[in-house]
Amino acid sequence: MNKLKITALALAAVMSMSIVTACGSKKSSSAESSSAESSMAEGSTAESGSAEEQQEKKVNDWELESPSEGANDYELGDYRTDPDTGIKLYYEEDQFPRELVLALENYFLTFEKNDLEAYKAANLPLYNEEWEKYLQKEYKYGLDKSFQTRCDSLKDAMEGTYKITRIKVEKSEQFPTEEEGVDDYLKWLGGIIGNDKFAEQVKADSDSIRYMSFYVMAENSKGEENMLVSEYSIIFAEKDGKYYTFG
């Protein structure tokens, strides 16, 4: 994949693009019975073949795609399309597991769909617990209102309803290593919520923690594609193969 960042020129080129998404009688004789069994066996084989074809299609749906030279989105580089959502995902598979990129995609879809329960499920449980306490103490409201405020803010930025079209994930250049980015992020978050053990607790309860930068583009109700989030850093904690973020 091209490691080119999303530049202002490239963004301007895709602003006006529209993306089409994906959201008889009973047998009695032994001969007839044998024939029926044979037909059933053949049917099973056909079904099995169908399942294999479906699996192959599912794998092929994730193949790397390249925009044609001269296309409006050519400078954005290669991508994979999520067959379930139609969202184009720009990432290096040898750097970022697909599950991690999908976790980021699902996280932002909670805002698009205004799905509070999905949002909470996308977050690390410890974060939900600590952030709820912080919000109640400082602002006298909880995660529910905080989430709704963010949904409204993103909707306002897009001047109404919107649909996520592209997500780009890349290594952050803010720190020399991911570990330093993780440490800084957890220290910052722990300082806000007033828990100096937060970073230690998160690390103890995670199999791994990733730090990265990302961009999100979306199409508004007029069919115009605009930047929703630009070069923002985020962390995900991985536990038993599932990735969780921090609100």
Q: Please report, in tens digits, the pLDDT of each residue of the chain (247 residues total).
A: 333 333 333 343 333 332 222 223 233 333 333 333 333 333 433 444 566 654 444 456 789 999 999 888 999 899 999 999 999 999 999 999 999 999 999 999 999 999 999 999 999 999 999 999 999 999 999 999 999 999 999 999 999 999 999 999 999 999 999 999 999 999 999 999 999 999 999 999 999 999 999 999 999 999 999 999 999 999 999 999 999 999 9
DSSP string covering 59-84:
HHTTS-B-PPTT-TTGGG--BEE-TT
3-state secondary structure of 2: coil
3-state secondary structure of 141: coil
pTM of this structure = 0.77
Q: Structure tokens of 156?
A: 């306002």
